[in-house]
Amino acid sequence: MNFGEFLRVRRAALKPEDVGLLNYGTRRVPGLRREELAMLAGVSSTYYTRLEQGVSSNASEAVIDSIARALQLGPDERTHLFDLAQPVKAKRRTPARPDKARPGTVRLIASMPGTPAVVLGRRSEVLAWNRLGHRLLAGHLRLGSPETPSDRPNMTKLLFLDPHTRELYGRWSEEAARAVASLRLLAGRMNDDQELAALIGELSLKSEEFATLWAKHPVENCMSGMKYLHHPEVGDVELNFEVLNLPDDSGHRVLMYAADAGSPGAEALQLLGSLLEQSAAAPDVVPSPRPR
């Protein structure tokens, strides 16, 4: 979550031939040298070095933009670089009340019984889910767990630390990389958030895979795509997902899943909905895993 650290990692990922430079001799460390990156960005080597070392701050937008071009950053990575370059703001007071989903948002996802939907907080904590979203993603957890802050699931923690969730994703490595890239982007925007820092610290200590991915500084705003699930009740499922940011300052997002009409994914969701109806009389009963 450090501006200089991000510059160092991305500079090390570039080879001289990637930017049209000749590579002479053996390099002690991988990637471009500081003076080479500074030359490409049009700034002095001394100034760039001070930026990496955190000695200089408040670089102009023009300088940051030049460095982003020299590092060949994509749109999301460029946004992340600008977020990191902003002066650290005074830490806010811890909210007196735990975060919670707006009642209207909860009613909205409840009104879509055929669409799995989850309301996520700023740090990917589950604030609410409808019944099909719960059954699809975390049927082994209590349906009402998001209502209790101390028991509230976190999608990123589940992905790395919960064996049931790990088995759910058919392409776990792809999903893990996407989750870390999204968290990196979020960390740049919330660089003074103590709860987010605690989450990252816990994951780094408890998951070597998370720590390895985090050190690579991936950055991506993952708003849509495909999820490849291996569900314990309905088997392999391919679903489209969309993330909708709510139009307020809450930072809440609604994650929704869908499948094309007549596709195997649509049939799987319909079957899962039928199983859900059968167990509606006992909604908090954990569904039995499908026989292997």
Q: Is 173 exposed, middle or buried (0-12, 13-18, 19+ CB in 10 A)?
A: exposed
Exposed / middle / buried, residue 38 (Cβ in 10 Å: 0-12, 13-18, 19+): buried
List of domains in the chain:
3-85 (1.10.260.40), 103-278 (3.30.450.180)
Tokens 């923690």 sit on residue: 157
| Predicted model pTM | 0.72
**Rounded to 5 degrees, what are φ and ψ at 7?**
-60, -45
Can you give the pLDDT at residue 94?
44
pLDDT along the chain (292 residues), means of 10: 80 78 64 83 83 76 84 85 67 54 94 96 95 96 92 96 96 95 86 83 92 89 93 96 90 95 95 90 51 44
Q: How far from chain centre, in Å, is Cα 269?
A: 25
The predicted structure's pLDDT at residue 23: 64
- Tell me, what's the pLDDT at 98? 63
195-213 in b/e form (b: 16+ CB < 10 A) is: ebeebbeebeeebebbeeb
* pLDDT score recorded for residue 185: 87
The confidence score (pLDDT) of residue 269 equals 96
Query: What pLDDT is attached to residue 75?
Result: 84
Six-digit token pair at 34?
């500081």
**Is the distance from CB of 59 to CB of 5 less than 8 angstroms?**
no
Residue 238 DSSP SS3: strand
b/e string for 83-122 if b means 16 or more Cβ within 10 A? Answer: bbbeeeeeeeeeeeeebbbeeebbebbeeeeebbbbbbbb
